[in-house]
């Protein structure tokens, strides 16, 4: 079993989230005899080459055919396998969305869909490869769990939670090699249960994926300006932890932060809950505005969309003034 020691967590933080996917699958293969890992011509990008060599009977590369991958996964899940399928986020969310809905959702099959390199992680590959809408569309599927881990330790925890879950899961992997750690020691991860990382009396920030770390830094910047802000890690977009929203009732401002379009993702999910209540603070949604950003390196696109810690802190300050 992978040991969640500080040393291991430090080592994992030096990898990309998609590298961790391949690592975690090696572990999963050791104790889940029904595991099946299918990919569509991205075995190397998903760090699955070692898995393919070590467990050829549990691995299938269908070539560049995401629809075929989805159908084969549905067929194998129907026959009792625990299937993980993977490709870059736009291709496993948008390109095969109808299959996710009609086969994984409608038939409630045991398949985890891993969206690799989501958000801006694929940098100069540009908007065709960005995953800016995957949470929005996957959370419309009844019965589908949508996970968005904040760092590589949480990637592993999410993968194992998905493996144990009976039903379809979309697992969104954000961040790039060298993304910072959120967690430095072991902790409990449960689907649908958010994790409060810090308390703040003025501002309650709900962040997901890569933005959790940025928000922990934004909180420090706000503190220097006399603003008390706290961060909660919303690693599960669906089912949404509405209990955490209720706890934010006394704050002056609720903020959602995501490396995802402001349309349909975490901000929308939270606003849908708040809209039906009259005792909640104002909501500020920070994410990618309704544009195709000018493509570039990871940090360049984050900065352009105001998703650096400093920009997040500035937006919150403006909103409070």
Partner 1 sequence: MDKERLKKLNEFANQLRLDMLNMALRSGSNGAHLGGSLSSAEILTVLFNSILKHDPKNPSWASRDRFILSKGHVSMAYYAALCRAGYFSEEELMSFNSDGSQLLTHSLVNQEKGIEISSGSLGWGLSIGIGCALSAKKKNESWRTYVLLGDGECNEGSVWEAFMAAARMKLNNLIAIIDCNGMQLDGVNAVMPPDKHCAMLDACGWEAVVVDGHDVTHLEEILAAKPEHKPYAVIAKTIKGKGVSFMENNADWHHGRITAEQFETAVKEVKCDA
Site residues (CB under 8 A) for partner 1, limited to 98-137: 98-99, 102-103, 106-107
Binding status of residue 65 toward partner 1 by CB under 8 A: yes
**Least Å from the CB of residue 72 to partner 1:** 4
Alpha carbons 205 and 234: distance in angstroms, whole number: 10
Binding status of residue 22 toward partner 1 by CB under 8 A: no
Binding status of residue 229 toward partner 1 by CB under 8 A: no
Q: Among 62, 156, 162, 231, indicate the residue that binds partner 1 (CB under 8 A).
A: 62
Structure token digits, residue 178: 């060298």
Q: Is 155 helix (H, G, I), strand (E, B) or coil?
A: helix
Binding status of residue 144 toward partner 1 by CB under 8 A: no
Structure token digits, residue 207: 């962040």
Structure token digits, residue 270: 């939270």
Structure token digits, residue 115: 């969206």
226: left (phi over 0), alpha (psi -120 to 50) or beta: left
Binding status of residue 79 toward partner 1 by CB under 8 A: yes
Binding status of residue 37 toward partner 1 by CB under 8 A: no
Binding status of residue 168 toward partner 1 by CB under 8 A: no
**Least Å from the CB of residue 95 to partner 1:** 11
Binding status of residue 57 toward partner 1 by CB under 8 A: yes
Give 107 or 274: the residue with its C-beta nearer to partner 1.
107
Which x/- pattern, by CB under 8 A, does the window 80-99 give for partner 1?
xx----------------xx
Give 96 or 211: the residue with its C-beta nearer to partner 1.
96
Give 61 or 311: the residue with its C-beta nearer to partner 1.
61
Total chain residues near partner 1 (CB under 8 A)? 27
Structure token digits, residue 217: 């830094």
Binding status of residue 67 toward partner 1 by CB under 8 A: yes
What percent of the residues of the chain are helix, what percent strand, and what percent coil, each to the nearest 5?
Answer: 40, 20, 40
Counted residue by residue, the chain has a size of 321
Taking Cα atoms as reference points, which of 120, 179, 110 lies closest to residue 150? 179
Q: What single string gives the DSSP state of each residue in 36-58?
A: EEEESS-TTTTT-HHHHHH-GGG
| Contact of 115 with 89, CB cutoff 8 Å | yes
Q: Among 26, 68, 137, 280, indicate the residue that binds partner 1 (CB under 8 A).
A: 68
| Contact of 317 with 253, CB cutoff 8 Å | no
Query: Which chain residues interact with partner 1 by CB under 8 A?
Result: 36, 57, 60, 62-63, 65, 67-81, 98-99, 102-103, 106-107
């Amino acid at each position: 079993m992978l040991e969640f020691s500080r040393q291991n967590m430090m080592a994992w933080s030096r990898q990309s989230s998609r590298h961790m996917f391949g690592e975690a699958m090696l572990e999963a293969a050791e104790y889940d005899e029904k595991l099946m890992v299918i990919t569509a011509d991205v075995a190397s990008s998903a760090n699955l080459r070692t898995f393919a060599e070590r467990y050829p009977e549990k691995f299938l590369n269908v070539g560049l055919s995401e629809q075929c991958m989805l159908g084969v996964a549905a067929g194998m899940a129907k026959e009792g396998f625990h299937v993980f399928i993977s490709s870059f986020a736009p291709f496993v969310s948008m390109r095969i969305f109808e299959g996710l809905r009609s086969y994984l959702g409608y038939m409630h099959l045991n398949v985890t869909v891993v969206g690799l390199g989501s958000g801006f992680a694929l940098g100069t590959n540009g908007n065709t490869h960005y995953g800016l809408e995957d949470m929005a569309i996957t959370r419309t599927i009844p019965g589908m769990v949508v996970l968005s881990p904040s760092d590589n330790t949480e990637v592993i925890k999410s993968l194992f939670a998905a493996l144990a879950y009976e039903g379809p899961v979309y697992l969104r992997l954000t961040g790039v090699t060298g993304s910072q750690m959120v967690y430095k020691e072991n902790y409990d991860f449960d689907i649908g249960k958010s994790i409060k990382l810090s308390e703040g009396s003025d501002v309650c920030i709900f962040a997901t994926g890569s933005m959790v770390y940025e928000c922990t830094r934004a909180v420090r910047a706000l503190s220097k300006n006399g603003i008390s802000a706290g961060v909660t890690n919303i690693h599960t977009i669906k089912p949404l932890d509405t209990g955490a929203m209720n706890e934010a009732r006394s704050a002056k401002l609720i903020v959602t932060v995501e490396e995802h379009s402001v349309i349909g993702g975490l901000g929308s999910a939270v606003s849908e809950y708040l809209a039906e209540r009259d005792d909640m603070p104002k909501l500020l949604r920070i994410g990618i505005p309704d544009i195709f950003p000018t493509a570039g390196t990871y940090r360049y696109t984050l900065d352009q969309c105001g998703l650096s810690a400093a920009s997040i802190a500035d937006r919150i300050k403006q909103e409070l003034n």
